């Protein structure tokens, strides 16, 4: 019986150790992977691509005033030249990215 308990404990610990790999990436990680190429790592839209596509800085007054719902909709459905991320990111990932963008605006 103790052998079965030890085996169960090992499986439980293995599951705990692997959880960070399975867990969703944070908004910052998703932003860096999916958004920074155009919006810049700092969200200031100072990248060549952002300048070429006339992307607004997240510190622009219009972007600061934009509601979370509007930013979520733009990210989900795309806007202008920005691609839609519906089906590429989960709703939770999109919300995490928007929360991260809000930290860049401070």
The residue ranges of every structural domain in the chain are: 25-104
Cα–Cα distance for residue pair 29/85, rounded to 1 Å? 15
**Domain 25-104 part of CATH 1.10.760.10:** yes
- What does the H/E/C string look like for the chain? CHHHHHHHHHHHHHHHHHHHHHCCCCHHHHHHHHCHHHHCCCCCCCCHHHHHHCCCCCCCHHHHHCCHHHHHHHHHHCECCECCCECCECHHHHHHHHHHHHHHCC
Per-residue pLDDT of the chain (106 residues; tens, 9 = 90+): 565 555 444 544 445 444 443 344 699 999 999 999 999 999 999 999 999 999 999 999 999 999 999 999 999 999 999 999 999 999 999 999 999 999 999 9
pLDDT confidence of residue 70: 98
Q: What is the pLDDT of residue 18?
A: 44
Question: So what's the pLDDT on residue 4?
Answer: 56
């Amino acid at each position: 019986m103790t052998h079965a308990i030890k085996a169960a404990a090992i499986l439980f610990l293995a599951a705990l150790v692997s959880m960070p790999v399975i867990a969703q990436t944070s908004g910052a990680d998703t932003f860096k992977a999916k958004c920074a190429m155009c919006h810049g790592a700092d969200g200031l839209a100072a990248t060549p691509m952002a300048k070429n596509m006339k992307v607004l800085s997240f510190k622009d007054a219009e972007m600061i005033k934009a509601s979370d719902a509007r930013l979520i909709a733009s990210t989900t459905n795309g806007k202008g030249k920005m691609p839609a991320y519906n089906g590429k990111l989960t709703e939770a990932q999109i919300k995490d990215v928007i929360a991260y963008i809000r930290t860049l605006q401070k």
